[in-house]
Amino acid sequence: MPEAFIPKRPVVTAHQKMPEAFVEAEAMSAYFKERGMEAPYGSIYDEDLRKRIRHGEFDMLIVAGGDGSVLRAGHLCAPGGVPILGVNLGRIGFLIQVERQEWREYFDKLFNGEAWIESRMMLHVEHIRAGEILGSWNALNEVVVARGQLLRPVRLTASVDGRQLISYLTDGLIASTPTGSTAYALAAGGPILPPELRNILLVPIAPHLSVDRAIVLSEGANVSISNRGENAVLSVDGQPPITLLEEDHVDVCAADVTTRFVRFGDPGYFYRNLTAHMNENSLGFSR
């Protein structure tokens, strides 16, 4: 088993538009105070709190919300290596191991030394036009280059390590981490990758007379997605789209930072969590 993790300086955050999340966050803060440990709480968007997190005041961030809140926490915490413990108040929670009604049980396990740290690969993304970097980001789930408001498919070329791999006429192309393989990439028909891998997954979205299979690239590969027409946009981890011009390209590689999660039990939790969500979803449609 991995080395046990017990925090000393936790902070609790909540989704700002979920009142019930703030109720739980306040209760979590009180839980720590009862055990002689200060744990401030606030919105994941609170800039003062975010500055304190970036400056290294805390050694664990608890986030009450859904997968979207965990993504935001990942972007905030990865540069400083702050581990994240998610408590699911959302609908699905692929990234989260602890459900709302279970957090006290799991917090007890945390203090008993039953938690460990899991590191997950992130992507580093650059938007390049005529040799100039217009923007750069890190992504925990995926990078998507896709058609914009027009219904026409886009023409894209994917190159790996400087060599052209394939051209697509498609609604879009996803470059995903193993974490993102259970998100948009899964909905687009891609395979599920175990979270400990460090491979980039390429998944086309509704390709037209193009290769329609996902491709798992070797560890360490660099990908460049070139826009060969009009009407394309770039989105990183579901953020608002950025317009791409013809011959713009999006370069993707493994980031030099990882998102760290607080986990419980053996590493097989991933498959149990995954099958539970899959079964729950299928039962919901069968009713």
By annotation, the residues acting in catalysis are 67
108 phi, psi to nearest 5 deg: -60, -40
Q: d(Cα 204, Cα 190) in Å, to the nearest integer?
A: 9
Question: Are 181 and 195 a contacting pair, CB within 8 Å?
Answer: no
Look at residue 270 and give its three-state secondary structure: helix
By three-state DSSP, how is residue 112 classified? coil
Helices (H), the chain: 19-34, 47-54, 67-77, 103-111, 184-187, 269-286
Q: Phi and psi dihedrals of 285, rounded to 5?
A: -75, -20
Closest C-alpha among 46, 24, 210, 199 to residue 104: 24
| List of residues 6+ apart from 213 with CB closer than 8 A | none
Task: Report the interhelical angle of 103-111 vs 19-34 (nearest 10°).
Answer: 30
Could you tell me whether strands 84-88 and 60-65 are parallel, antiparallel, or unpaired per DSSP bridges? parallel
Nearest CA to 218 out of 284, 161, 164 is that of: 161
Burial call 189-214: b when 16+ CB within 10 Å, e when fewer: ebeebebebbbbbbbbbebeebeeeb
